[in-house]
A = this chain, B = another copy of it.
């Protein structure tokens, strides 16, 4: 039978480990944690009950995500907490002193800088470049191929998008993730259309639907969002 090649470990109750896992003694382990092959966990991290680290990529029949090539392990930085039920997919690299909160999700080939927070139930898709001290709140969603610079704030339920064809993309059209410049902020429930850039220190009001790029320092609100200051 094919399988994930996990082996029970006596280091913690219900712990399952793949091959070649680096898991220092200083790591705090909850129950029923699963750590797949090739994961490196930093000193003093916490892996809470039932989280899954380094899960092999599983793509759908029709997924437009490029296949993982040469994924070389998964990184959980020192002092980082991965919450209960959270899933970190193979090939993600999470910095130091981060929080991937309970039931959150981080996908393959995404990098997250130090002291960032992926809130409870929030989701960071594949191939995202996220900086340091980013704060994603509950249920916020960063679509694939986005760039999120340092100190960005995403309120609860923010939704980014990346497919300008809404599901009818021919092979020669690329996905267009968002670009969120340094210290910009996006309010609760706001939606960004594909390829939007939010300028440095700009503010998108709660519930806005952003259809055009937002200049640095601007405040936008409404459906569609308009600059108000």
Interface of A with B (CB < 8 Å)?
A: 1-4, 6-8, 11-14, 16, 25-32, 34, 46, 48-50, 52, 55, 58-63, 81, 83-85, 87, 89, 97-99, 101-103, 105, 115, 117, 120-121, 123, 125, 133, 135, 138-139, 141, 143, 153, 155-157, 159-161, 163, 166-168, 185, 187-189, 191, 193, 203, 206-207, 209, 222-224
**B50 A32 Cβ-Cβ under 8 A:** yes
**A1 B11 Cβ-Cβ under 8 A:** yes
Q: Which residue of B lies closest to A8 (CB)?
A: B13
Select A167's contact among B85, B98, B135, B139, beta carbons within 8 Å.
Answer: B135
| 28 A-B residue pairings within 8 Å (CB atoms) | A1-B12, A4-B12, A6-B13, A8-B13, A8-B14, A14-B32, A16-B49, A30-B52, A32-B34, A48-B52, A50-B85, A58-B99, A58-B101, A61-B97, A62-B117, A84-B87, A85-B85, A85-B87, A87-B103, A102-B105, A123-B139, A125-B138, A139-B141, A155-B161, A159-B188, A166-B185, A166-B203, A187-B191
A209 / chain B contacts, CB cutoff of 8 Å: 189, 206-207
Q: How far is the CA of A103 from the CA of B52 in the complex (A)?
A: 11
Contact A28 to B50, CB < 8 A, known contacts A61-B115, A206-B161, A209-B189:
no
A46 / chain B contacts, CB cutoff of 8 Å: 58
17 further A-B contacts with Cβ under 8 Å, apart from A105-B120, A166-B203, A188-B191, are A1-B27, A13-B16, A31-B34, A32-B34, A32-B50, A50-B50, A58-B99, A62-B135, A63-B99, A120-B123, A123-B139, A141-B156, A153-B166, A153-B168, A155-B161, A157-B191, A193-B206
User: How many copies of this chain are found per oligomer?
Assistant: 3
A63 / chain B contacts, CB cutoff of 8 Å: 99, 117
Select A16's contact among B32, B102, B188, beta carbons within 8 Å.
Answer: B32
**A2 B26 Cβ-Cβ under 8 A:** yes
Select A157's contact among B55, B97, B157, B187, beta carbons within 8 Å.
Answer: B157
Shortest CB-to-CB span from A3 to chain B, Å, is: 5
Contact A167 to B185, CB < 8 A, known contacts A16-B32, A141-B157:
yes
